[in-house]
Amino acid sequence: MVAAVAAVVAIYFARATVGEAKEARNDSIAAHRELMALQRAGLDYQRLAERVSLAARIAEILAHVVDLAREEFRISGDGNPVTTQGYRTLPAVLTGLGAVLTGFEALGGPELEAAHQLETSTGEPPSVVLSRAVSATQQLSALARSGQFKLPGEG
């Protein structure tokens, strides 16, 4: 009889232990899911910060392209492109723009069609380069005003 009571008590405590273990496992799973959600949100914010940084770099390059195109236009009008000892600065800057655009889009940034059009403007007259640079700047500005660079939940 004593053995039967001991067995019942052991079964009762075993079931309680199993129930506590299940509860602990469920808590652990819930905590893990919450941690993963926080990590995903952190990565999203990091990608957004990197996109904003690259957008700022694109804006700097566009301003530089505008300056270079204006200088070329001032020196040669819409004739032959200006060279510096056989080297033209604008193609190198446009190549750099293409590299930054690739990074921007790889991080989930929207395609900046006007900037891509500008990127392929090597050999174009300065007025065409200038016009495309202004269009790309306007497109980037409109993108910023549209809220593309706001954190989720910002107003």
Residue 100 lies in a domain: yes
Residuewise pLDDT in 10s, the chain (155 residues): 778 777 777 788 778 888 888 888 888 999 999 999 999 989 988 988 999 999 999 999 999 999 998 888 888 777 666 555 545 788 889 999 999 999 999 988 889 999 999 999 888 888 899 999 999 999 999 998 888 776 666 55
On whether residue 151 sits in a domain, the answer given is: no
Within a domain: residue 17?
yes
Decide if 19 is inside a domain.
Answer: yes
- Residue 112 located in a structural domain: yes
Question: Three-state DSSP class for 87?
Answer: strand
Q: Which two tokens stand for residue 88?
A: 């033209």
| Cβ atoms within 10 Å, residue 95 | 11
Compute the distance between CA of residue 59 and CA of residue 56 in angstroms, rounded to an integer.
5
Q: Is residue 85 part of a domain?
A: yes
With respect to residue 47, please indicate whether it lies within any of the assigned structural domains: yes
| Domains identified in the chain, total number | 1
Tell me the residue range of the domain where 54 lies.
2-145
By the 8 A CB rule, do 66 and 137 touch? yes
